[in-house]
Amino acid sequence: MKVTREMTFDSAHMLSNYVGRCHNLHGHTYKLQVTLEGEVEDETGMVVDFQTLDQYIRSVIDSYDHAIIFSSEKYRKEPENELLHWAEEFDMDYIICRSKCTAENIASDICYDIQHLVGELYKVTCKLWETPNSFAETV
């Protein structure tokens, strides 16, 4: 059985290794859909309480909300490094991805972090909309 919850958060990022408009610092209102797959418990009749699922998701995405998302050091070019130094200097909220800060990798990082929270009890998948008509989905 699958149980799904949707939430939104706002973040900014820039794609250092991209030729095009997304090379510039810009923001998105991301829509995140997190699905837990597991067995329905006899006692509760639920896979997971929606409030509990909400808490799992919020504990991860709260660090993304109204923050700047940076690529890992390996993938940052000088403008992104300078922006990171600025964010550190002025005590801005930011998060560093495990790879590049694309929708695909942000979705993967969020899914990984939620999976780590829930352990082997559930299989976690995530869908992350960067725009109303474009999303990345973990498998």
CA angle in degrees (0–180, nearest 5) for 21-23-28: 75
Q: Which of 6, 22, 37, 88 is catalytic?
A: 22
Q: Which of 13, 101, 111, 130 is catalytic?
A: 130
- What the block records as the tokens of 9 is 């958060």
Helix (H) or strand (E) holding 95: strand 94-96
Is 37 among the residues known to form the active site? no
Find out whether 126 and 34 touch, Cβ atoms under 8 Å: yes
Is 13 among the residues known to form the active site? no
Long-range CB contact pairs, 22-26, < 8 A, 24+: 25/68, 25/83
Is 22 among the residues known to form the active site? yes
Nearest CA-CA partner of 99 in 81, 73, 78, 77: 73
What is the spatial distance between Cα 102 and Cα 15, in angstroms, rounded to a whole number? Answer: 7
Q: Which of 26, 66, 85, 116 is catalytic?
A: 66
Active site residues: 22, 66, 130
